[in-house]
Amino acid sequence: MYGQRNSEKRPARTVSRRRFVQGLVAGGVIAGLDLWRWPAWVRGADNQQEILTGNQFALVVEQTAINFTGYRTHATTVNGSVPGPVLRWREGDTVTLSVTNRLSEMTSIHWHGIRTPANMDGVPGLSFPGIAPNETFVYQFPVRQSGTYWYHSHSHFQEQIGHYGPLIIDPLGKDPIEYDREYVVMLSDWTDEHPQTVFSNLKQQSDYYNFQQRTLGTFFSDVRKNGLGATLSERWMWNRMNMSPTDILDVSGATYTYLLNGQPPDANWTALFRPGERVRLRFINGSSMSIFDVRIPNLPMTVVQADGNAVEPVTVDEFRISVAETYDVIVQPQEESAYTIFAQAEDRTGYARGTLAPKTGMTAPVPPMDPRPLRTMVDMGMGHTSGMNMEKQSMKAETATASHEHGMDMGDTSSTHKSSMPEMQLGTETANSSPAKLRLSPEVDNIAEMPTERLSTAGEGFPPERRVLAYSDLRARYRGTDLRPPSREIELHLTGNMERFIWTFDGKLFSDAEPIRLTLGERVRIVLVNDSMMEHPIHLHGLWSELENGHGEFRPYKHTVNVKPGERLSYLVSADTPGHWAFHCHLLYHMEAGMFRTVIVS
Ligand SMILES: [Cu+2]
C-alpha cells in the first residue's frame, strides 16, 4: 500500500541550501540593481528566496548537492538553488540575461509565458541550438508584459531535477492589484530517481507509480452504495478499457517529494504577515508531472491573476493548478494565528505545505488529504451518465475495445464530435482546416464519443461544500487587444495509449507530424478535444491563448490551458510574432513521449 511506503521514507532534513542574496553579492549581478524596489521585509525575511532585480542578470547552470529526502544527491540548478533565484523584471525594460552552462551536457532556459522574439524563447532546435558546456548565451529582449511567470530548462529532463525558477514582472505603471506584502509560492515535484529511469518505468509499465487499485473492500462498499449490477458493470467496463479509475497522475508520491519554494513539507516554509494585511501569494506550478489542489483552511483566497494576466477578483476556497500555470491570490488573515498553505497532489499521494503566520515558529494543523478523485464516464468522453444507462455505456466500451483488439477502423467518429457539441458556439465563418479523422491505433487507445464542455468545473475530487475555481470564473480585467473573429479553426485531439505510454496530438508522434502553419497576422481558433483519460496542460509558446470561456471580449489570456479528460474547449490566437514555436503538453514525460508540435508563424 502506498501509505506504508510513504511512512518508510526517511524524514526530510532541512538543509540550508538557500544561499540568500548570495547571487547579489558574489554572482556579479550588480549593474542595474534596484534594491529600492524591494521593501525591507522582502529583502531581509528569513527563509525567503534569492531575488535578482534590475535589467542585467548573470545566471549559471550547474550541478549542486541537495538533500530533499534524507538522501544526498545532485540537482541541476540555476545559481545554486532549487528553485533558482526569483528574477524580477520591470515592464518596459530591455533585459539582458547571460546564461553560463557549467554542466557536461547542453542546457537552455525558456521564459515561460513571456512574449519574446522567437530566437530568445530558449527551445533547443527551434529557437537556437542550445547552450553547450562551458558556453555563455546572452538573451536580450524587451519586456512588454507584467505578472507572475517562471523559467525552466527546455533541455531533456533537466526541469525535473531542479532547473526552474520564478519570474515576476512589475507593471510599468501602478499595479492594479492592491496588496501590502507578497510572496512567491512555487510548487514542484522532486524525485531522487533519475528522470530517465522514471520515464523508462512509465514506458515499461504505465501504472508503475500507481498503487491505488481498488480493492475487494471498496468493491463491497460500492455494492452497498450502487447495487451489485451497477458495480459489476462499471468495474467490468473499466477492466475492458484497460484502465483504472484511479489513474489520475502518472507519477505519484511513491517517488515524488512535493516542494513548496524548494522546501519539503516537514521543512515548513513560512511567510509572515500582520493581521489585516492584504497578502499577495503568487502561486506557480513548476512541477514536471504534478497537478495540485491548493487551499488555506479557514482563509478564503481571492484570485486576481491567472497566467500573469489580471482577472476580475473571484473568491474561492480552493483552486486546481495544473502544471506550468500560475495564479495570484489575495488573502487577508485577520487573526493572530497561523494558517497552513496546503497543496495536495491531485491523486492524493502527497502534498506540499507551507505556513502563513504572524510570527516565525507558529504552525497550524495540516489537514488530512481529501479522498482521491475517481475518473468517471464524463472523463471517458462518454458524456453525462447515470446508473440507468451504465449498461449501454458498457456495451459501447466493449465495442471500442473489441475493435481496438482487432485493429478495426472505428470509422468517422469525428462527425459525432461536432453534432454532439451543442454547448460550443464555434463561430460562423470558420473553415475547419484540420478535420480530425482519428481512428484507434497503437497511438490512440480511446476516442471521446461525446466530449463535453467542462469549463464550469475544476474536475473531480472536491467536497461539494468548497468553492473551487473553475475556468469559467476567469474573466479578464481588461478587454482583449485583438477583437477580430478567427478566420479559421484548427482542431486537435489530445490522444494517447495509456498502456504503452505514448502521448500524441491527433495520434501522431512529434517525429511523424508536420508543423502547424499560421500566417503572420492571422487570427485562429484552436479547438482541443481530449480523447485521453489524463489531463493535459497544453502550452503554446510565444503567442497568447485566449480561452473562450463565455466572457466574450474579456477572454482570459493564458499561456497554459489545462484540458480535462473527455473535454472539448477552444481558444483564440493572434499569430502576431513570426518564428518557430513549441506547442506541447507541459507534463514533462508526455512531451517526451511525443505530445509536441512545432507551430510556424510566417
Ligand atoms: Cu499530457
Q: In angstroms, what is the span from residue 183 Cα to ligand 1's centroid?
A: 29
Q: In angstroms, what is the span from residue 379 Cα to ligand 1's centroid?
A: 15
Q: What is the pLDDT of residues 502-561, one digit of tens each?
A: 999 999 998 889 999 999 999 999 999 999 989 999 999 999 999 999 999 999 999 999
| pLDDT grade for 47, boundaries at 50, 70 and 90 | low
Q: In angstroms, what is the span from residue 247 Cα to ligand 1's centroid?
A: 13
What's the CA gap between 329 and 279, in Å, rounded? Answer: 8
Residue 123's nearest CA partner among 135, 133, 134, 109 is 109
Instruction: Name the amino acid, one letter, at 511.
Output: S
What's the CA gap between 253 and 265, in Å, rounded? Answer: 12
pLDDT at 104: 97
Task: Please say if the pLDDT value at position 392 is more than 90.
Answer: no
- Taking residues 246-270, what's their average pLDDT? 90
Return the CATH class of domain 416-601: mainly beta
Q: What is the pLDDT of residues 486-501, one digit of tens each?
A: 999 999 999 998 888 9
Q: In angstroms, what is the span from residue 259 Cα to ligand 1's centroid?
A: 21
Among 205-219, 463-477, 513-527, 584-598, name the one with the lowest average pLDDT: 205-219
pLDDT at 265: 95
Q: In angstroms, what is the span from residue 590 Cα to ligand 1's centroid?
A: 5
Q: In angstroms, what is the span from residue 178 Cα to ligand 1's centroid?
A: 36
Half-sphere exposure of 495 (CA within 13 A, CB side): 22
Q: In angstroms, what is the span from residue 291 Cα to ligand 1's centroid?
A: 11
Question: What is the chain's mean pLDDT, rounded?
Answer: 82
Q: Between 434 and 540, where is the model more confident?
A: 540
Q: In angstroms, what is the span from residue 536 Cα to ligand 1's centroid?
A: 4
Task: Please say if the pLDDT value at position 194 is more than 90.
Answer: yes
pLDDT at 193: 94
What's the CA gap between 544 and 478, in Å, rounded? Answer: 14
What's the CA gap between 578 and 542, in Å, rounded? Answer: 9
Among 4-8, 206-210, 579-583, name the one with the lowest average pLDDT: 4-8
Q: In angstroms, what is the span from residue 455 Cα to ligand 1's centroid?
A: 18
- What is the SS3 assignment for 238? helix
Task: Please say if the pLDDT value at position 396 is more than 90.
Answer: no
Please state, as a whole number, how many other Cβ atoms lie within 10 Å of the Cβ of residue 359. 9
Q: In angstroms, what is the span from residue 323 Cα to ligand 1's centroid?
A: 10
Q: In angstroms, what is the span from residue 537 Cα to ligand 1's centroid?
A: 6
Among 308-322, 382-396, 583-597, name the one with the lowest average pLDDT: 382-396
Q: In angstroms, what is the span from residue 561 Cα to ligand 1's centroid?
A: 11
- Which residues does residue 73 pair with via DSSP β-bridges, in sequence order? 66
Q: Between 189 and 437, where is the model more confident?
A: 189
Task: Please say if the pLDDT value at position 209 is more than 90.
Answer: no
Q: In angstroms, what is the span from residue 585 Cα to ligand 1's centroid?
A: 5
Q: In angstroms, what is the span from residue 591 Cα to ligand 1's centroid?
A: 7
Task: Please say if the pLDDT value at position 289 is more than 70.
Answer: yes
Instruction: Name the amino acid, one letter, at 154.
Output: H
Q: What is the pLDDT of residues 222-233, one digit of tens each?
A: 666 667 666 666
- Taking residues 576-584, what's their average pLDDT? 98
Instruction: Name the amino acid, one letter, at 34.
Output: D
Q: In angstroms, what is the span from residue 446 Cα to ligand 1's centroid?
A: 15
| pLDDT grade for 217, boundaries at 50, 70 and 90 | low
Task: Please say if the pLDDT value at position 579 is more than 50.
Answer: yes
Q: Which DSSP helix (H) or strand (E) runs through 231?
A: helix 228-240
Domain ranges in the chain are 2-179, 416-601
Q: In angstroms, what is the span from residue 308 Cα to ligand 1's centroid?
A: 22
pLDDT at 442: 79
Percentages of the chain per state (helix, strand, coil), in multiples of 5? 15, 35, 50
What's the CA gap between 18 and 83, in Å, rounded? Answer: 9
Q: In angstroms, what is the span from residue 444 Cα to ligand 1's centroid?
A: 13
Q: What is the pLDDT of residues 110-131, one digit of tens each?
A: 999 999 999 999 999 999 999 9
Q: In angstroms, what is the span from residue 233 Cα to ligand 1's centroid?
A: 29
- Taking residues 8-33, what's their average pLDDT? 30
pLDDT at 6: 35
Q: From the options 2.60.40.420, 2.40.440.10, 3.30.70.2860, 3.40.50.280, give the CATH code of 2-179.
A: 2.60.40.420
- Taking residues 241-247, what's their average pLDDT? 55
Q: In angstroms, what is the span from residue 502 Cα to ligand 1's centroid?
A: 10
Counting residues of the chain whose pLDDT is more than 90, the rounded percentage is 66
416-601 has the same fold as 2-179 = yes
Q: In angstroms, what is the span from residue 50 Cα to ligand 1's centroid?
A: 32
Q: In angstroms, what is the span from residue 595 Cα to ligand 1's centroid?
A: 7
Q: Which three cell numbers stand for residue 454?
A: 467542462
Q: Which three cell numbers stand for residue 196?
A: 530517465
pLDDT at 373: 85
Report phi then psi at 110, rounded to 5: -105, 135
What's the CA gap between 390 and 377, in Å, rounded? Answer: 9
Q: Which three cell numbers stand for residue 314?
A: 473571484
| pLDDT grade for 219, boundaries at 50, 70 and 90 | low
Q: In angstroms, what is the span from residue 76 Cα to ligand 1's centroid?
A: 24
- Taking residues 387-415, what's their average pLDDT? 34
Query: Quick one: three-class SS letters along 456-518?
Result: CCCCCCCCCCCCECCHHHCCECCCCCCCCCCCEEEEEEEEEECCCCEEEECCECHHHCCCEEE
pLDDT at 215: 54
What's the CA gap between 300 and 310, in Å, rounded? Answer: 19
DSSP string of 282-334, one letter each residue? EEEE--SS--EEEE-TT--EEEEEETTEEEEEEEESEEEE-TT-EEEEEE---
Q: Give the highest mean pLDDT range of 67-76, 409-418, 420-429.
A: 67-76
The answer to whether the predicted template modeling score (pTM) of the entire model surpasses 0.85 is no
Q: In angstroms, what is the span from residue 263 Cα to ligand 1's centroid?
A: 26
Q: Between 532 and 241, where is the model more confident?
A: 532
Q: Which residues fall inside 5 Å of ion ligand 1, going by CB?
A: 536, 585, 587, 590
Q: In angstroms, what is the span from residue 38 Cα to ligand 1's centroid?
A: 38
Q: In angstroms, what is the span from residue 532 Cα to ligand 1's centroid?
A: 9
pLDDT at 233: 62
pLDDT at 467: 98
